[in-house]
Chain A
Amino acid sequence: MSERQFYIDPSRCIGCNACVAACAECDTHRGVSMIHLETIQRGDSVQTAPVICMHCDEPACAAVCPADAIKRTPDGVVQSSLKPRCIGCTNCVFACPFGVPKYDAAIDQMMKCDMCYDRTSIGKKPMCATVCPSRALMYGTPEEIAAQRHGTPINEFIFGGRTIRTKVNLMVPQGTKRLEVNPGTMIRKSDLLNQARVR
C-alpha cells in the first residue's frame, strides 16, 4: 500500500468550521488555528474552501525569509518559523502563492500549518482530516482516493508562468493535469454580470 497523502477537495467543503476548531487542538500550536476557511465569492455563492499549507517543493516562504527561519523536514513538511530566528517581517505572508502563513502579532512570529507534524510524523492523521465530515480534507492513500472520488488529484500549479509542485494534492475535475492561475483568465460570476451590464 502506498504512503498516505493529503488531499483537499474544495467542492466537498460545507463550511462547518470543524477543521478550524480541530486545528486549534494541535499540540504544535495549541489554541491557535492555522486553517483558513475561505469564502469563494460571498456575494454569489455559499461555497467555502479550506486552505492548508501545500508544502511546496521549493517553498517561496522559506526562500524569501531574511532570517533563515523557515525549514523543511526530510519528509518534505515545511515547518512553522523557528522562534529564535523569526523577526516577524511577514515576507513569507506576502510571498506564499496560496496565502498560508499567518503572522501572530502577539508573539511577533509567523506560524503556519505544519500538517500536524507531531501526529503525521508518527503515522497519525492531521487533526483537520480526522474531523472533516464531508472529507473535503482527506488523508489517505492514492488507491483510496482513486476508488472513492471522480476527480483527479493534482499537485502542479502554475502561478504567472512559474510552476510549483506541492506535497499536498488538490482534487480537480477529472482529466485536469495542472492548475494555471493567471489573474486575467479568472472567470468570476460577478465579472460576467458586470460585463453584461456594461453591454
Chain B
Amino acid sequence: MDKALQDDFPIDWEQDGFVSRREFFKFMTLASGGLAIGSVGLAAWSSALRGERRFEPIRIARLDEVPTGTALGFGYPRPSDLCILVHHKDGTLSAFSRRCTHLSCPVDYQAQTERLFCPCHNGAFSSKDGSVLQGPPPAPLPRVLIENRDGELWAVGVVH
C-alpha cells in the first residue's frame, strides 16, 4: 500500500483521528457554555471595580504652591498613574485621572475655558466634575479624592 496514502488514512484505530458527531457537538456545547459563563464573570468582575476605592494616601503639595487658576500633575495611587490637580478660580479644588478615557492620552488644563483638553482627538472634559464636554471620550474622567490636611493636599482615593 502506498506509504503517503497509509499515513493519511491509517488502518490502525489509534492513529486515526476520528471525531464522532457526538464528540464534536459535546466539545462545541461545552466550549460555547464556557465562553458564556466567562463573559458573565468578566462583566461581574469589571463592575465590581466601579465606585469609590481607597488607596494609601499620598501628599501632593502645599495648597499655597498651587495658585488659583493653575493645575499640578501628580501620580496616584502609583507614581506612574498620571493625575491632575486643578485649583479653580473660585478657590475650589478638584483632581482627576489624567488619562483620557478615549485612548489614554494625557489631558491638559485650559484655564480660560476651565476644561481638561485632550490634544490627541480634540476631546474635552469639565475641570469641575470630569464629565465629557466634546470629542470621542466614552466616559467621564475618574475623580481623585483629595483632603486638605492643615494646608497640605493629600490624595486618598479614586472614584470611577
Binding site for A on B (CB under 8 A): 1, 9, 11-14, 16, 18, 20-21
Contacts and interface: CB of A to CB of B under 8 A. Distances in A.
A131 interface: no
Given A72-B11, A72-B13, A63 B1 contact: yes
Contacts of B13: 71-74, 79
Interface string A43-72: 000000000000000110011000010111
Nearest to B14: A74
Contacts of B11: 59, 62-63, 70-72
Nearest to B20: A84
A82 interface: yes
Contacts of B18: 71, 82
- Chain A, interface size category, equals 10 to 19
A68 B13 CA distance: 11
A74 B12 contact: yes
B21 to A, nearest CB: 6
* Chain A interface, DSSP helix/strand/loop, else mixed: loop
Contacts of B14: 74
Given A71-B11, A72-B12, A73-B12, 7 more contacts: A63-B11, A68-B16, A70-B11, A72-B11, A73-B13, A74-B13, A82-B18
A95 B159 CA distance: 78
A117 to B, nearest CB: 11
24 contacts: A58-B1, A59-B11, A62-B11, A63-B1, A63-B11, A68-B9, A68-B16, A70-B11, A71-B11, A71-B12, A71-B13, A71-B16, A71-B18, A72-B11, A72-B13, A73-B12, A73-B13, A74-B12, A74-B13, A74-B14, A79-B13, A82-B18, A84-B20, A84-B21
Nearest to A71: B13
A74 B10 CA distance: 12
Contacts of A79: 13
Interface string A67-109: 0101111100001001010000000000000000000000000
Nearest to B5: A63
Interface string A27-43: 00000000000000000
A61 to B, nearest CB: 9
